[in-house]
Amino acid sequence: MGRRIYGGSAVIHIFLFFFVLIFSAASALSKNPNPSSGSGQINSNSVLVALLDSRYTELAELVEKALLLQTLEDAVGRHNITIFAPRNEALERDLDPEFKRFLLEPGNLKSLQTLLMFHIIPNRVGSDQWPPEESGRVKHHTLGNDQVHLSNGEGKKMVDLAEIIRPDDLTRPDGLIHGIERLLIPRSVQEDFNRRRSLQSITAILPEGAPEVDPRTNRLKKPAAPVPAGSPPALPIQSAMAPGPSLAPAPAPGPGGKQHHFDGEAQVKDFIHTLLHYGGYNEMADILVNLTSLATEMGRLVSEGYVLTVLAPNDEAMAKLTTDQLSEPGAPEQIVYYHIIPEYQTEESMYNSVRRFGKVKFDTLRFPHKVAAKEADGSVKFGDGERSAYLFDPDIYTDGRISVQGIDGVLFPQEEEIVESVKKPVKKVVQPRRGKLLEVTCSLLGAFGKDTYLSKCR
């Protein structure tokens, strides 16, 4: 009878044990009703599924290639997200092929991930939550710990420099997607691309030709002292420039020359692409590439070791140029020459100069004219009077050889500007005074006659 009681108590203990397990599992499920958020799984109504099945196929393909699906699933599980999706044309035809090739290289996976997370905000921002026009630009942090600025002006909703063309295009409970006209490129990714291009352009100096024999001694000539890489050229930049816009560009040594340490053409192409990606400087890029051959000449100068600072007027300023100002032969070249300084200047260096010395004059490639700069309203102001411009977009492109600074006006040299370095000495011609001897003789005779008359009266 004791054994039966013992056996019954064992069954009761087992039953109680399973009851406790079931109760604990039920309580755990009640505390976490959405177990998919912790495991990274998403449902069919998620904004990520909507992105993969939407019209933004190019962006969805880049997200898969960047291995970001798991990261985005975790982000959706924690909070709502807002995705700024560029249209397919912005990634297919408008994007620089070299830049796209750079993003898709296996070694640049981090740059691709940073660029894509720059398009995602870890909170929900609908079109009705956009900042009003009077509040200015409002910054938001992205998934990549960068910042984007939302603004509203002239009836257009903007995120940085991209216009929202499809507000609230796809809305889901865990986020929404806005369609934008162009790709957003964070500064860090652009600098990585520029740095990679610059590093690839630096090559070793190859030996040139066979050793020379001195015919007098029948011995080998001593080789010239090696020129350190990156050393400044011996001649001034005016000597290396083309003779004029109406003539053919001056020939420059080809690759492998003694001074050819940099691929200037690639660097000039790089900064022109940066102008196009930055936005608002298409006219300046068009003049450099299509209307003139200045891009080629700048590439040759940089290849020879010269450094340049370009004061680039924005499109709004270039639109104010009249037909008369551009119709004269060589006028576009002369305008651009006046905006190129043969020094490497950044926004910080120019501002420090005008703060310390007041008014500073920089040499330009439009020799002998100089462009004046001074401090005004906490920035750098170039020129005087109506033909002045402010430093508007600082450090658009800086790679150590070429610096591009955006300005809000087109500069022209002063018409009454006098340059002391080109003053010609004026030879004075002294006109002889005619009849000087006759005048002296008459005065002597007059005095003699007067004395004679006085002696006779006595």
Structure tokens at 11: 């069954």
Please give, one letter per residue, the 3-state secondary structure of 344-369: CCCHHHHHHHHHHHCCEEEECCCCCC
Higher-confidence residue: 227 or 206? 227
Structure tokens at 150: 């939302």
Q: What are the φ/ψ torsions at residue 133 (nearest 5 degrees)?
A: -65, -35
CB 449 within 8 A of CB 456: no
> Among 211-215, 271-275, 279-283, 434-438, whose mean pLDDT is lowest?
434-438
> Among 175-189, 315-329, 418-432, 440-454, whose mean pLDDT is lowest?
418-432
Interatomic CA distance for residues 221 and 211, integer angstroms: 7
Q: Has residue 410 got a pLDDT over 90?
A: yes
| Residue 53 identity | D
Interatomic CA distance for residues 376 and 382, integer angstroms: 9
> Which pLDDT belongs to residue 218?
67
Higher-confidence residue: 254 or 121? 121
| Residue 113 identity | Q
Mean pLDDT of 170-193: 90
pLDDT band at 430 (very low <50, low <70, confident <90, very high): very low
* 277 CA to centre of own chain: 9
pLDDT band at 373 (very low <50, low <70, confident <90, very high): very high
Higher-confidence residue: 452 or 446? 446
Interatomic CA distance for residues 85 and 182, integer angstroms: 9
Q: Indicate the length of the chain as a whole number.
A: 458
What share of the chain has pLDDT > 70, as a percent?
67
128: CB partners within 8 A, 6+ apart: none
The pLDDT tens digits for 125-135 are 998 888 888 87
Q: Has residue 36 got a pLDDT over 50?
A: no
DSSP E strand boundaries for 221-325? 308-313
Q: Has residue 438 got a pLDDT over 60?
A: no
What SS3 state is found at 177?
A: strand
Name the average pLDDT for the chain: 77
Q: Has residue 347 got a pLDDT over 70?
A: yes
The closest of 195, 173, 200 to 111, measured between CA atoms, is 195
Structure tokens at 380: 């750098």
Handedness of CA 447, 451, 456, 458 (dihedral sign): positive
The closest of 385, 431, 391 to 407, measured between CA atoms, is 391
Mean pLDDT of 138-148: 89
The verdict on pTM exceeding 0.85 is: no
Q: Most confidently modeled of 106-110, 204-208, 407-411?
A: 407-411
Peptide bond between residue 86 and the one before it cis (omega within 30 degrees of 0): no
Max CA distance (Å), the chain:
192
The pLDDT tens digits for 1-10 are 444 444 555 5
Interatomic CA distance for residues 202 and 297, integer angstroms: 19
Q: Residue 47 pairs with which residues in a beta bridge?
A: none
Interatomic CA distance for residues 378 and 331, integer angstroms: 32
> Among 51-55, 167-171, 193-197, 355-359, whose mean pLDDT is lowest?
193-197
Interatomic CA distance for residues 192 and 108, integer angstroms: 9
Q: Has residue 21 got a pLDDT over 70?
A: no
Residue that has been written with the tokens 């930055």 in this structure: 278
Q: Residue 140 pairs with which residues in a beta bridge?
A: 148
What SS3 state is found at 86?
A: strand
Interatomic CA distance for residues 99 and 104, integer angstroms: 9
CB 351 within 8 A of CB 345: no
DSSP state of 289: I
> Which pLDDT belongs to residue 176?
93
Mean pLDDT of 59-84: 89
pLDDT band at 439 (very low <50, low <70, confident <90, very high): low
DSSP state of 254: -
> Among 36-50, 295-309, 331-345, 401-415, whose mean pLDDT is lowest?
36-50
